[in-house]
Structure 1
Amino acid sequence: AHDLMLMCVHAPPEKRHEILALVEMFKGKVVDIGQKFVMVELADSEEKVEAFIASCKPYGIKNLVRTGTVAMGRLSAIVPDVV
Structure 2
Amino acid sequence: MRQMFARLAAVAFAGLAASAALADESEGKIVRIDPETATISLSDGNDYAFPLDFYIDDLQPGMTVRVFFDVENGKKVLYDLQVEN
TM-score (norm 2): 0.30
Task: Give 1 or 2 for the bigger CA radius of gyration.
Answer: 2
Answer 1 or 2: higher relative contact order, Cα 8 Å, separation at least 6.
1
- Larger relative strand fraction: 2
Q: TM-score, normalised by structure 1?
A: 0.30
Q: Which has the higher helix share?
A: 1
